[in-house]
Chain A
């Protein structure tokens, strides 16, 4: 599966958080715990339904909340040029 992460990124996990630099904009993004969880999942799947399901399991949130959070987060990543 091709990761949706854009190729012009540099990123690392530091103290359990993802630090992502968009090298085109030179903006540094620091993700919180949930964001980092989703970010790591994007190397395996870009399917929002699957991601929301895994979010439910990990954080014991309702499926509706997980779907809402996932959709919102993926949109933010897209707007910031971090995923295609």
Chain B
């Protein structure tokens, strides 16, 4: 049997592949996250598809009595209610798999509870700092200045509640700086900075309400179920209460030392 497994923030996913080509594709694109396949994992049985699987280019997440479906023109998966067993029909390429995996992870991660935030993440002095914002705000740029070797990602970081603590974990979901680093980093979340364009380095504290709005607008999520959105709202509220959050502007000429100083 061709299997390989990955671990993202403690969520173990085992791919049962139809060919060694699939195993090779997964090993190559998720190399930093590969772990031994164990019994306790979410099993994804991959079936290679070639035709369009739906008419839509926008992904759709549907929950029904049998479980979950994730649908786009290049993939269609069916999972049980706990997402423990999934059959994934998918075009054989890294982009389709990566897109599907992000969506799958947003649903499964919410159980922890956790969410994928559009942010770069940086590990510094035993903690993690996130730089959030939509495309073009400077996430990859700030990652380059701070150094990729201590980056959690330059695109999507997983925030999750573990006990009373909030943790930020690196993911295999990178943007401009893909494939990222071979270090898989995580640590207690110490601050979130929402990026904005300006010519100088400055940070401004923002209110709880504003933090909630920014977190929600920066979260990757596809289901429209009110109960799940409520969980996201609840998580955003916890972040707003526990984590110092600021708006941050920086310039391309700022140094790593200057940026690290502003994290305090």
Contact = CB atoms under 8 A, between A and B. Distances in A.
Interface of A: 7-12, 14-15, 17, 19, 21, 23-24, 26, 28, 30
A30 B213 contact: yes
A26 B234 CA distance: 16
Interface of B: 207-209, 212-213, 216-217, 224-227, 229-230, 232-234, 237, 240
A24 B209 contact: no
A23 B233 CA distance: 12
Contacts, number: 44
A11 to B, nearest CB: 7
Contact of A9 (B212, B213, B216, B226): B226
> Could you say which of A9, A10, A12 has the most chain B C-beta atoms within 10 Å of its C-beta?
A10
Contacts of B213: 19, 28, 30
Contacts of A9: 226
Given A10-B233, A17-B209, 18 more contacts: A7-B226, A8-B224, A8-B226, A9-B226, A11-B230, A11-B233, A12-B230, A14-B233, A15-B207, A19-B209, A19-B213, A21-B233, A23-B224, A23-B225, A23-B226, A28-B213, A28-B216, A30-B209
Contacts of A28: 213, 216-217
B209 A26 contact: no
A10 B226 contact: yes
Given A12-B237, A19-B233, A26 B208 contact: no
A14 to B, nearest CB: 5
Contacts of A11: 230, 233
Contacts of A12: 230, 233-234, 237
B230 A14 contact: no
Contacts of B237: 12, 14
Contact of B212 (A7, A19, A23, A24): A19
A27 to B, nearest CB: 11
A19 B234 CA distance: 11
B209 A14 contact: yes
B229 A10 contact: yes
